[in-house]
Chains A and B, each alone.
Chain A
Amino acid sequence: MKKILQLALVLSGLLFLAGCKIDKGESITVVGSSAMQPLAEAAGNEFSSNNLGKFVNVQGGGSGTGLSQVQSGAVDIGNSDLFAEEKSGIDASELVSFKVAVVGIAPIVNKEIGIKDISMDNLRAIFTGELTNWKELGGKDLPIVIINRASGSGTRATFERWVMNGEKTKKAQEQDSTGMVRQIVSTTPGAISYLAFSYITKEVQELSIDGIQPKDENVTTNQWPIWSYEHMYTKGQPTGLTKEYIDFVLSDEMQNGMIPKLGYIPVTQMEVERDANGEIIQ
């Protein structure tokens, strides 16, 4: 009996501990786009260390998750690579968008294929399945292996929108994560895929399109058209800690410091602006 009492005491003690937060700090939850996760996390850590007792929980899960969770009110901020208007099932009028950064996306290939530049038409022809061997493009005699991101991924949607021009892509391999795409392209002969600039390393070969290099400068002038905004969405105007956090991400300190360091392009550097329909304003 004594043991049971002890056990009960310990259990109720645990329940009690779990019930009350040890720290009475405030916290918000940020969910969504995995491409944005490093940015949101770094900003969250910086924000917490500047403001003791205020926490920002950051989770990935994809742009779709971010948008749907913020729309249902389950989280405070939903991250997305896409405009809410572009995603079916989301009521964009309920959401407020903050464009915190821009990310460029470039085609990447395995190093062995032997070409470094491609025309936009040929790039499209590869993804529709018209071109199937690199020698048709002046490269080595290697079959082209297409590796797509998962359908519905923000990166894929951006790439298809600005490259495919409405044409259907050929059904091909799909991979869920950016890191996996890079790994597979670097080890599979003849492979082609696409990555955000910040994820491109020496293991893979990036392609320039029609002679234009995939560089931040070319994105800011829209000469390199494959780019997207990184959005933070809130349901209604943000208040309290949510607002403080977003203001922090948009502050000069973040925009000129950490954001370029992490490989994103600050929105303040953009010389053009694009709306949800892809029209250039200014």
Chain B
Amino acid sequence: MEEIQKSLLTKSKKAKLEQIGKAISLLCIVFIVAVVAAIFYFVMSKGLATFFKDGVNVFDFLFGTDWAPGTVGDDGKPLVGALPMLVGSFLVTLLSAIVATPFAIGAAVFMTEISPNLGKKVLQPVIELLVGIPSVVYGFIGLTVVVPAVRNVFGGSGFGILAGTFVLFVMILPTVTSMTVDSLNAVPRHYREASLALGATRWQTTYKVVLRAAIPGILTAVVFGMARAFGEALAIQMVIGNAAILPENLTTPASTLTSILTMGIGNTIMGTLENNVLWSLALLLLLMSLFFNIIIRMIGKKGEFK
């Protein structure tokens, strides 16, 4: 009797194990949250110092077109206009997403609707292979192949938004494609069956039913790709030219937030204005990635299959 009572009242080995497991998982998540909070605090405190400590006007920073930190303009204000970089970043991101999306959707439709067997066995691994290639390799290929090609076809020195777009297009293609595949696969089978039962052809079913139903997922995929393009630094730095001037067209040298940031950070002294404005650029990048995350969440919520 005692024994039964004891075994009922004390925790079993399995229950203890579960408790330990829970504690470890909780610890891990707390640690990760703390790291994220620390990153935010650090970048914020450094990035905002430009405005609070060095007294730079936020509008001068966001909409100024002269970037030469460390020197002052004719009006005595430091030249820290980040507009050229902002324009560069947004242009390469948008353009590469616009170019990549049709390719990604085409590939995904082929892999899920037209030839699922070939898709799973051959195409999916091939596309996922692209993810594993280090970005410095993309940059080098961009420098030795894409830049001369752009120069020969479109003129200019070849460095610029266009070369950056081509490189980023290949880099975000696997992300967008594989997420589009997932969202097409998630469209319930009975949607297709119902459509076919009504006499629709396979093309009609794909175009009017499957793709429509998967739109939220596809949008999420595109935004994910854009987030990746926006944050890419190394490859884009090698092909965009890194001139902090507003680009006149797609083949003149431009710059992105990331390229200016990575180039400058080693040459500036902590705590000086030159260093702080770079942190402000980093803050902009952080806010942008937050923005992309929020968009993805909003799309995701709207598009849940019920």
Contacts and interface: CB of A to CB of B under 8 A. Distances in A.
B81 to A, nearest CB: 12
A145 B157 contact: yes
B143 A183 contact: yes
B242 A188 contact: no
Nearest to B274: A152
Interface in A85-139: 87-90
A65 interface: yes
B262 interface: yes
B281 interface: no
Nearest to A145: B157
A65 B262 CA distance: 13
Contact of B269 (A1, A88, A174, A184): A88
Nearest to A72: B270
Interface string B238-256: 1001111100000001010
B270 A150 contact: no
A174 B17 contact: no
B157 A63 contact: no
A174 B70 contact: no
Most chain B C-beta atoms within 10 Å of own C-beta, residue among A90, A153, A175: A175
B243 A68 contact: no
Interface of A: 1, 4, 60-65, 67-68, 72, 87-90, 145, 150-153, 171-176, 180, 183-184, 187-191
B115 interface: no
Given A171-B244, A176-B242, A189-B151, 4 more contacts: A89-B274, A90-B269, A152-B268, A153-B267
B70 A152 contact: yes
A183 B274 CA distance: 28
Contact of A187 (B144, B238, B266): B144
B36 interface: no
A191 to B, nearest CB: 8
A171 B148 contact: no
B245 to A, nearest CB: 5
B17 to A, nearest CB: 7
A100 to B, nearest CB: 20
B270 A4 contact: no
B237 interface: yes
A172 B238 contact: no
B264 A188 contact: no
Contacts of A153: 267
B268 A173 contact: no
Contacts of A4: 17, 20
A109 to B, nearest CB: 14
Given A176-B237, A180-B238, A61 B70 contact: no
Contact of B243 (A172, A176, A187): A172
B306 interface: no
A196 to B, nearest CB: 16
Contacts of A176: 237, 242, 262-263
Given A89-B272, A183-B143, A61 B242 contact: no
B17 A1 contact: yes
B13 A1 contact: yes
Given A171-B245, A174-B242, A151 B17 contact: no
Contacts of B275: 89
Interface in B265-283: 266-272, 274-275
A172 B157 CA distance: 12
B68 interface: yes
